[in-house]
Amino acid sequence: MTANSATGTPSWLGAVNDRAGLAVLLEHGPLTRNRICELVGVSKPTASQMMSRLLAAGFIEERGRTSGSAGRSAVVYAARTDRPLGVALDLDAFELRATVVDATGGERPIVRMPLPHDPTERSAVDEVSRAIAEASAAAGTDPAAVHSVCIGIPGYVDPGPTGELFSETLPGWPVRGLRSILETELGRAVHIENDVNLAALAERAHGAGADSDVFALLWLGNGVGASFDVAGDLHRGSFGGAGEIGFLPLSVEAAALDPSARTAQDLVGGRAVALLAKRHGIEASGYHAARSALAEPGASGARDAVFHDLAERVAHIALPLLATLDPERLVLAGPSSSLGGAAFADEVGRGIRRLSRWYPEVVATSVDRDPVLLGARLLLSATVREELLDTVASVSLA
């Protein structure tokens, strides 16, 4: 029987109902049969048949009974989320972070793995394999149940036939065919996404982008990047490189702020923050050490001075984003922005208005922990959820 000829048959209707029943359990959590009837819009006998089929196939379980109300108690049903699973990862030059993801997107333990400094000791397959194993062990789940992986990287992979990797912080990783190599070696579906795009997903779902129709996210850390969210859709570009603003040459006015700078990365990236910190009395070697020193309670004076200088630079860097997208809101995210906070965002906003005709609302990120990993979880949970619901429909039609 073909899919079209099956439409409208009892088995097809059962598959549709089973999928809908599991979907409401994933969305709302444990429910009684009566509540499932209300949410799915089916009769009690139909709901009973749905629960029986889903129980028999192992997609749901009984999770106790209701209590504290008049009349007979009712069975509470809950979705089983131990399979299929995914693992979300994000990594920088120093550390890989990973966590198991199920169809509900609920939080699981995060494992943090230091990465070798020697490029000859790096291996994409080994690192992702280890992340799957350690994240699964921390979550108490079976690594064999992991069917898909989402990796947030500082850079991007060209979607063209060569799958070229553009990143300066993944030494030892294949520069061509990264996704196909990982999928072949791991035997799992692999999604590779730019870290700033994932941070924007997190900002849309849980942060400063939640109530904005159009926003741009400007990431300031050791690296510099941007992401564009239009009504909940990310604009990645034809070749995956939308938002890679670190490579942009500077305007004459921006270059005057630091004659040694040639690109946006030079002007506001990790090198710039380290040099500004040194100018204001912080003796630290490199960006990460400078940022740690500026975060100390006793460094508030130097911190204010550094972010005052940095704000004017960021205002210049933001202008191409504003001219391209004209967003209603500009969200400042990343390690540097998080340290500067709301006061830094306010100063950047004033600088933009002083330099240009644009006047977006400039705000600090409100996703304060692992935004890239959170974005990877959000993207992957939708994938895992669809796989689970598709499996339900397939089983019901078999």
Q: Are strands 75-79 and 60-65 parallel, antiparallel or unpaired?
A: antiparallel
Q: Are 100 and 136 in contact (CB under 8 A)?
A: yes
256: containing domain: 209-366
State yes or no: cis peptide before 10, omega within 30 of 0.
no
31: in domain: yes
Residue whose pair of structure tokens reads 């200088």 in the numeric block: 309
Q: What is the pLDDT of residues 173-229, one digit of tens each?
A: 999 999 999 999 999 999 999 999 999 999 999 999 999 999 999 999 999 999 999
Instruction: For residue 52, give the CATH number of its domain.
Output: 1.10.10.10
pLDDT for the residue numbered 73: 86
* 93 pLDDT tier (thresholds 50, 70, 90): confident
Final residue of a domain: which of 28, 61, 80?
80
Largest CA distance in the chain: 79
Q: Are residues 57 and 104 in the same domain?
A: no
For the chain, the average pLDDT equals: 93
- CA proximity to 244, closest of 303, 172, 321: 321
Q: Are 267 and 320 in contact (CB under 8 A)?
A: no
Residue 5 has pLDDT above 70, yes or no: no
Final residue of a domain: which of 31, 59, 80?
80
3-class SS of residue 73: coil
Strand-pair partners of 191: 150
- CA proximity to 101, closest of 114, 90, 89, 91: 89
Q: Are 221 and 94 in contact (CB under 8 A)?
A: no
Residue 366 has pLDDT above 70, yes or no: yes
Strand-pair partners of 101: 86
Q: Are strands 85-91 and 146-153 parallel, antiparallel or unpaired?
A: parallel
Rounded to whole angstroms, the Cα distance separating 225 from 320 reads 12
Instruction: For residue 323, give the CATH number of its domain.
Output: 3.30.420.40
Final residue of a domain: which of 27, 62, 80?
80
Average pLDDT estimate for 74-92: 95
Q: What is the pLDDT of residues 255-286, one digit of tens each?
A: 999 999 999 999 999 999 999 999 999 999 99
3-class SS of residue 114: strand
